[in-house]
A and B are shown apart, each in its own frame.
Chain A
Amino acid sequence: MAEPKTKYDRQLRIWGEQGQAALEKASICLLNCGPTGSETLKNLVLGGVGSITIVDGSKVELGDLGNNFMVDESSLGQSKAKCVCSFLQELNDAVKAKFIEEHPEALIDTNPSFFSQFTLVVATQLVEESMVKLDRICREANVMLIFARSYGLTGLVRISVKEHAVIESKPDHFLDDLRLNNPWPELRGFAEAIDLNVQDPVAHKHIPYVVILVKMADEWIKSHGGSLPSTREEKREFKELLKARMVAMDEDNYKEAIDASFKVFAPRGISSDLQQIIIDSCAEVASNSSDFWVMVAALKEFIANEGGGEAPLEGSIPDMTSSTEHYINLQKIYQAKSEADFLVIEKRVRNILKKIGRDPNSIPKATIKSFCKNARKLKVCRYRLIEDEYNNPSLPELQKYLTDEDYSIAVGFYILLRAVDRYAANFNSFPGQFDGGMDEDISRLKTTAVSLLNDLGCNGLTLTEDLINEMCRFGAAELHTVAAFIGGIASQEVIKLITKQFVPMSGTYVFNGIDHKSQLLSLY
């Protein structure tokens, strides 16, 4: 066996050892191991999930050899679950792989408690009726669920989890937490001790921009009745003042200060996203609240009290032109404030836990620390039951999509993916599944789609002939490339859900393999 750290090096750089540990603890169940399911699992097995269980009752047919890499000539006639399982095991011996030769629909109907043993279920190629049933089972059992389906040149991915709270959302571009618009006493003190008029040009060009801005903002406040620049004219004037302080053309620290001056102008306090989270009813905690919400409750208290309207300080600073000494000292000042904020929050967390009758030490220090560092970036994702979405999609959204050119193909496919299931329930096969009788299938699918739209309350709206024709042409084909794409997306979302890092998709992702103008539809 290879040293796992080396083998997983390229992904550890993304989700770290904690993320990897979460993956290695996870047990995943796959329903149906056609190419969509097989490809989803392949990406997870390579990444080192703990265990996989494949549920599929079918035997390998000749047609499967043309779209699924996990089966070959020698698999013909054998259990598909078994063949796929043994190939996946070959990819990574650290993964516990097993299979159950049974039709998922049967399992859903006869043994709902089966699913409660898993961390997450990946349900592929299910029709609507089974999706709805499975969704209820998993929601009840608190098991994460993700649907994936490939159908000709379309397909969908949909997460179903009651609530997914993310601490480490790791956004790509996020404003750093410098508090230049609201410096605390130690930062102000540090800045005061540095002379902006220092004679030595080397020293002058190595004053960090944070110091320059804190001091200049202070100066401004003193001469402007206590307020920071707010109008466009004032902001321009402030930048001019900065420019006037330069003693040479090549002073990068001053250029950085001018570029970063917007951080001085930015409004104080927390973002509206964070505001939404702290006013969420879950922040009123009780004995059965999750650790996340307990910490949110503590955060809420902090913001209202010690924080003076701000979240705990993140504590890290970006690189900037500076002497090593100034930079390291500045880092220490930010870290100290961050540590102090953390201690306050920790105390509040412990108190809240005691108040709701839980062990005050039940949330580890490291978790609270990570929560504080990421407080400004918290995310809460909630997903409607699929049944609710299907019975009561947000009508204004649906109508908007249907009439928006950018969305029309994607929403058309969304409707048609449901229509083909209704069609199949009525006619025992998908439209165009078999050769011959295409014209009849087309007109039947059209009727089905129109009646579905009526049921959804979109009377009078219809889908284009072209799209209905294409859907019949697809004939429920599971093309390898589409399956690999859908499976890739599904596995990516599984990783985000299990590692509790990054932000999972919301809504329903509808793949448009015609021109790749796929869309995420939010119908709740």
Chain B
Amino acid sequence: MIRLFKVKEKQKELAENANGGVPIKKQTAGELRLHKDISELNLPKSCAISFPNGKDDLMNFEVSIRPDEGYYLCGTFLFSFQVSPIYPHEAPKVKCKTKVYHPNIDLEGNVCLNILREDWKPVLNINTIIYGLYHLFTEPNYEDPLNHDAAAVLRDNPKMFESNVRRAMAGGYVGQTFFPRCI
């Protein structure tokens, strides 16, 4: 291709003059795929999405979930999403920003949801993840615990679990841990 290189070199100045001011922003394949995911979102009424950095940064966004049934009825739980430029080759990083008494979410906001880690596949999308998160609130499970104590209570004494959840959501202590109000 050396002849082409040579020609190009010689015509470079010309070309440079002809197209100054070309914007340099590069959109990665990951951003494009995310654009598709976001523009096809179909969320239940109980979930809302927001973009803290404005309409042109889709890679960082927040989802709030307000369960309309189950133990967590009426609570509002905020999740942050961080999407990698090689999405969907890699799953988004999701954290729960609201401190919650939940068997599958620890006090630091780590979430045990299989599709966020070991079972992530590029065919899944943002919608699937949000539904997965929503599901965690309507059907918390004690079989895959991250908060060991909460899981044990849910398994052994669902009534007590229910009252613990209510107390935490209203803003109060469960055992030694304080939970800010999220209703």
* A contact residues vs B (CB 8 Å cutoff): 201-202, 205, 250
Question: A residues within 8 A CB of B143?
Answer: 201-202, 205
Q: Once the chains are docked, how many angstroms separate the CA of A201 from the CA of B142?
A: 10
Q: Once the chains are docked, how many angstroms separate the CA of A250 from the CA of B113?
A: 12
* B contact residues vs A (CB 8 Å cutoff): 114, 142-143, 155
Q: Once the chains are docked, how many angstroms separate the CA of A250 from the CA of B155?
A: 18
Q: Once the chains are docked, how many angstroms separate the CA of A201 from the CA of B114?
A: 18
Q: Once the chains are docked, how many angstroms separate the CA of A250 from the CA of B132?
A: 14
B151 (CB) vs chain A CBs: closest residue: A202
Question: B residues within 8 A CB of A205?
Answer: 143
Q: Once the chains are docked, how many angstroms separate the CA of A172 from the CA of B8?
A: 47
Q: Once the chains are docked, how many angstroms separate the CA of A205 from the CA of B143?
A: 9
Question: A residues within 8 A CB of B114?
Answer: 250
* Distance in Å: Cβ of B36 to nearest Cβ of chain A: 28
Question: B residues within 8 A CB of A201?
Answer: 143
Q: Once the chains are docked, how many angstroms separate the CA of A202 from the CA of B155?
A: 10
Q: Once the chains are docked, how many angstroms separate the CA of A201 from the CA of B141?
A: 11
Q: Once the chains are docked, how many angstroms separate the CA of A201 from the CA of B154?
A: 14
Q: Once the chains are docked, how many angstroms separate the CA of A250 from the CA of B141?
A: 12
Q: Once the chains are docked, how many angstroms separate the CA of A446 from the CA of B142?
A: 78
* Distance in Å: Cβ of A489 to nearest Cβ of chain B: 29
Show 6 residue pairs from A and B whose CB-CB distance is below 8 angstroms, ordered by the A residue: A201-B143, A202-B142, A202-B143, A202-B155, A205-B143, A250-B114
Q: Once the chains are docked, how many angstroms separate the CA of A189 from the CA of B144?
A: 29
* Distance in Å: Cβ of B132 to nearest Cβ of chain A: 12
A206 (CB) vs chain B CBs: closest residue: B143
Question: A residues within 8 A CB of B142?
Answer: 202
* Distance in Å: Cβ of A420 to nearest Cβ of chain B: 30
* Distance in Å: Cβ of B124 to nearest Cβ of chain A: 16
* Distance in Å: Cβ of A325 to nearest Cβ of chain B: 15
Which interface residue of B114, B142, B143, B155 has the most chain A CB atoms within 10 A?
Answer: B143
Question: B residues within 8 A CB of A202?
Answer: 142-143, 155
Q: Once the chains are docked, how many angstroms separate the CA of A423 from the CA of B143?
A: 77
* Distance in Å: Cβ of A198 to nearest Cβ of chain B: 13
B142 (CB) vs chain A CBs: closest residue: A202
* Distance in Å: Cβ of B34 to nearest Cβ of chain A: 28
A203 (CB) vs chain B CBs: closest residue: B143
Q: Once the chains are docked, how many angstroms separate the CA of A201 from the CA of B144?
A: 11
Q: Once the chains are docked, how many angstroms separate the CA of A204 from the CA of B25?
A: 53
A202 (CB) vs chain B CBs: closest residue: B143
* Distance in Å: Cβ of B35 to nearest Cβ of chain A: 32
* Distance in Å: Cβ of B20 to nearest Cβ of chain A: 39
* Distance in Å: Cβ of A134 to nearest Cβ of chain B: 42
Q: Once the chains are docked, how many angstroms separate the CA of A194 from the CA of B95?
A: 38
By Cβ-Cβ distance, the 6 closest A-B pairs, closest first, are A202-B143, A201-B143, A205-B143, A202-B142, A250-B114, A202-B155
Q: Once the chains are docked, how many angstroms separate the CA of A205 from the CA of B155?
A: 15
* Distance in Å: Cβ of B1 to nearest Cβ of chain A: 18
Q: Once the chains are docked, how many angstroms separate the CA of A202 from the CA of B152?
A: 11
A205 (CB) vs chain B CBs: closest residue: B143
Q: Once the chains are docked, how many angstroms separate the CA of A300 from the CA of B105?
A: 55
Q: Once the chains are docked, how many angstroms separate the CA of A201 from the CA of B143?
A: 8
B143 (CB) vs chain A CBs: closest residue: A202
Question: A residues within 8 A CB of B155?
Answer: 202
A201 (CB) vs chain B CBs: closest residue: B143
* Distance in Å: Cβ of A163 to nearest Cβ of chain B: 45
Q: Once the chains are docked, how many angstroms separate the CA of A170 from the CA of B99?
A: 47
